[in-house]
Amino acid sequence: MENNEASEKSDLAQQQKSVFLLLLDGWGVAENSEANAVSNAKTPNFLKLAKEYPATILEANALNVNARYLILGTGLAVNDETQAVGNDLTSIISDAGLKQLKIFDSERLAALTSFFNGRREDRLVGEDWLSVSLEDSKQEINVFLTLKKIVRESIKAVKSEQYNFIVVACSVLDIVAATGDFGETVKIVEALDNALRALAAEVLDHQGILVISASGGNAERLKDMVTDLSDKSMTDNPVPLIIVGHSFKGKTIGLKDAPDGDLSLLESAGSLSDITPTILALMGIKKDDQMSGINLIG
pLDDT tens for 208-247 read 999 999 999 999 999 877 777 788 889 999 999 999 999 9
Please say if the pLDDT value at position 69 is more than 80. Answer: yes
pLDDT digits (tens, 9 = 90+) for 138-170: 888 999 999 999 999 999 999 999 999 999 999
Task: Please state whether the predicted TM-score (pTM) of the whole model is above 0.75.
Answer: yes
To the nearest whole number, what is the mean pLDDT of the chain?
Answer: 92
Cβ-contact 212, 244 below 8 angstroms: yes
31 pLDDT higher than 70: yes
Q: What is the arithmetic mean of pLDDT over 29-52?
A: 96
Mean pLDDT of the region 53-71 = 94
pLDDT in the model for residue 54: 95
How many angstroms separate the CA atoms of 89 and 290, rounded? 12
Residue 225: count of CB within 10 angstroms of its CB = 12
Q: Which residues contact 150 (CB under 8 A, 6 or more apart)?
A: 103, 105, 132, 168, 170, 172, 195
Residue pair 280/297 in contact by the 8 Å Cβ criterion = no
Cα pseudo-dihedral 194, 59, 252, 166, rounded to 10: 50
pLDDT tens, 91-143? 999 999 999 999 999 999 999 999 999 999 899 999 999 999 998 888 889 99
Mean pLDDT computed over 246-257: 86
Percentage of the chain modeled with pLDDT above 70 = 94
**What mean pLDDT comes out for the span 36-42?**
97
Q: How far apart are CA 269 and CA 193, in angstroms?
A: 23
Instruction: Map residue 240 onto helix, strand or coil.
Output: strand
Cβ–Cβ under 8 Å, residues 26 and 217: yes
Q: Name the CATH code of domain 2-282 (choices 3.90.78.10, 1.10.3720.10, 3.40.720.10, 3.40.50.970).
A: 3.40.720.10
- Cα 298 from Cα 69, distance rounded (Å): 23
